[in-house]
Amino acid sequence: MRKIRFREALREAMSEEMRLDPSVFLMGEEVAEYDGAYKVSQGMLAEFGAKRVIDTPIAELGFAGIGVGAAMNGTRPIIEFMTWNFAILAFDQIINGAAKILPLSAGAFGCPIVFRGPQGAAGQLGATHSQNLTNMMASVPGLKVVSVSNPYDAKGLLKSAIRDSDPVIFFESEMMYSDMGEVPEEEYLIPIGKCDVKREGTDVTLVSYNKMMKVALKAAEELEKEGVSAEVIDLRTIRPLDIETIINSVKKTNRLVIVDESWPFTSIASEITFQVQRYAFDYLDAPIRRVCGADTSMHYAPNLVEAYLPSVAKVMEAAKQR
């Protein structure tokens, strides 16, 4: 199978859907003339023209609102945020608009829109450019939340998100855009709402998503050298959460470690912990462990970045605790 970069997988997903459906369009900062801040939309302006690949001012609240209105009136917008840190300015349109318009209109208006872009830490970018907002978005009824870790999942899930009738939050990572991965040339879709077991194991379950999957998979490799067999699950979709796959794994391994870049208080890891203890408490042979980002703002210094984030060593330590 051919290998392409993460950014190319995203571009293929958007381009294929735009060729299939003239109501799909891309809008965001630098997506057109500059070919995208991370070159995700490279070449799309030349193919689809300025009416379907639209550069916007630096005004997230404004162009997110335009996207919501367009979705209510029969189109399928893809709104790209240069980073989800900037999207905080657009939360009113996402949370009070896109997420609520279906019930507020008694079903008269839907909002088939995708809000996508990178989020989380991406090196030494400081406190306001390094935030993982997954738990904030996942707490909102009416939104579907997807967070991908590799090119194959990125393409298949983005195509499904564009076709979905509900608003979809689609999280990427600046640190993964150059990652290579196998992606079929033929069309495929990955259903929203299904985890993926990336590695089978028998002794402990490691659950993660987005770029922290690299940490989880590397930890599993290192644990294997010490005789510990780790099963690794990629959430892929945060909401709706496929808790059944996680519970079935815990019933087999009897231990669970969740690797989550979110701040620990009200994190994705907290929700998974609650649900597993509710539905599979009798199968646990040890307390559930969370390996989260630090409960503070990200700092610029590289040693503090390292201390802040989940690491292979932290995951291994958690997996071996009794």
Which residues belong to the active site?
60, 129
d(CA 207, CA 231): 8
d(CA 132, CA 285): 31
Paired sense of beta strands 114-118 and 230-234, if any? unpaired
**Of 255, 298, 227, which Cα lies nearest the Cα of 85?**
298
Strand partners, 25: 77
Strand partners, 207: 233, 258
d(CA 223, CA 230): 7
d(CA 206, CA 226): 16
The b/e string for 35-50 (b: 16+ C-beta within 10 A; e otherwise) is: bbbbebbeebbeebee
